[in-house]
Amino acid sequence: MKVIISGGGTGGHIFPAVAIANELRRRHPDAEILFVGANGRMEMTRVPEAGYRIVGLDVTGLQRRLTPQNLMFPVRVFRSVRKAGRLLEEFQPDAVVGVGGYASAPVLLAATSRGIPSLIQEQNSYAGLVNKLLARRVDRICVAYEGMEKFFPADKLVLTGNPVRAEIASGSRAEALAFFGLDASRPVLLVVGGSLGARTLNEATAAALPRLQQGGIQLLWQTGKTYYPQAAPAAVPYAANGLHALEFIQRMDLAYAVADVVVSRAGALSVSELCLTGKPSILVPSPNVAEDHQTKNAMALVQRNAALLVTDSQAATRLYDEALALLHQPERRQQVASNALALARPAATITIVDELEKLITNQKID
């Protein structure tokens, strides 16, 4: 079996793609899997770290204002589609998977024009532009939320949930306490702003460090690479009391295992992980995303009492009032956690690969 997986740009696209690849490799150890990403984006490092080969395209997104980059956009798209076509001719895949992001468009355009079975996976409750544009060309559309027929042809939809790395829910609390050097008798707050970090969360967290120390709370604070140089010195005086600023948390399985409450952006992958791990959370949707889709992701949980919501504009004044209150309300935490766990779709990756195998089998029969 030979499969191309295309897309990326953020962890919310990359980690689901890797989860799909891992399931394919589990079923077919001799499968050849090739990733296609955008040069200069994080997939070009994260995918090889996961053990897969990746080829980069010189493709970028369309800016929302007039820039020299926009003038080159049609040229880059044309060149990328042509390069993608060459890759398909050389690799001869049985199917192509698109997970969203710049690089998925040229690969899927080239694949569908050649009749290669194609599947897209939409992580968010509000469909991304690339996936909406390609919906009528592809064979199958795997989605994480109900009601997605407002974006996609209903006959192509399969409700699967989001692919989440299987190990994310398997962490041991005892191992996590030792790994992070935390005290088992004190509550732990986990703050994550996505793979790239979040300014609002970081500023609110830095300001709240004295309150957290006074309240006896321990902190695992993933700052992201951009903000770490400012966050790390701010946290140093509090490290002895278990408040830690970390650039990136590789062992998220352990971070979730030890966390009593999670403060997070509302990216689709983060929301899916919170449900799968059954963690009570306070979601702070990013305002800097297309069509405010993170608020829509968050509301899918909030409406079911499976998470709390604090807007980005309220974070400076409300976020840590809510976090400290929740940390001291064990019964409320348990209720929110149970509701989140009920929304989890642990078989998402399996179902997506099932759909992919059906497309390949049907193509061979035809």
**Residue 263 pLDDT more than 80?**
yes
- Are residue 176 and residue 223 in the same domain, yes or no? yes
Q: What span, in angstroms and rounded, lies between the C-alpha atoms of 138 and 26?
A: 25
Q: What is the pLDDT of residues 300-358, one digit of tens each?
A: 999 999 999 999 999 999 999 999 999 999 999 999 999 999 999 999 999 999 999 99
Q: What is the CATH number of the domain that holds 28?
A: 3.40.50.2000
Q: What is the pLDDT of residues 171-203, one digit of tens each?
A: 999 999 999 999 999 999 999 986 566 899 999
- Are residue 95 and residue 200 in the same domain, yes or no? no
- Are residue 98 and residue 176 in the same domain, yes or no? no
Please give the tally of structural domains in the chain. 2
- Are residue 211 and residue 235 in the same domain, yes or no? yes
Report the binding-site residues. 10-12, 124, 165, 195, 249, 268-273, 294
Query: Residue 9: which domain range?
Result: 2-162+346-365
| Strand segments (E) across 225-321 | 243-246, 261-264, 281-283, 308-309
Q: What span, in angstroms and rounded, lies between the C-alpha atoms of 342 and 347?
A: 13
- Are residue 244 and residue 143 in the same domain, yes or no? no
Closest CA to 261 of 178, 314, 205: 205
- Are residue 230 and residue 127 in the same domain, yes or no? no
- Are residue 50 and residue 8 in the same domain, yes or no? yes
Q: Contact 266/284 with Cβ under 8 angstroms?
A: yes
- Are residue 321 and residue 185 in the same domain, yes or no? yes
Q: What span, in angstroms and rounded, lies between the C-alpha atoms of 302 and 207?
A: 26
Q: Contact 274/262 with Cβ under 8 angstroms?
A: yes
Average pLDDT along the chain: 92
User: Alpha carbon of 304 to those of 75, 330, 339, 343, 346: distances in Å?
Assistant: 46, 18, 7, 9, 19
- Are residue 359 and residue 261 in the same domain, yes or no? no
- Are residue 334 and residue 359 in the same domain, yes or no? no
Report the binding-site residues for UDP-N-acetyl-alpha-D-glucosamine. 10-12, 124, 165, 195, 249, 268-273, 294
pTM of the model: 0.85
Looking at this protein, which amino acid is placed at residue 227?
Answer: Y
- Are residue 27 and residue 154 in the same domain, yes or no? yes
Locate all alpha helices (DSSP H) within 126-251, ordered by sequence: 129-134, 173-180, 199-214, 228-235
- Are residue 273 and residue 325 in the same domain, yes or no? yes
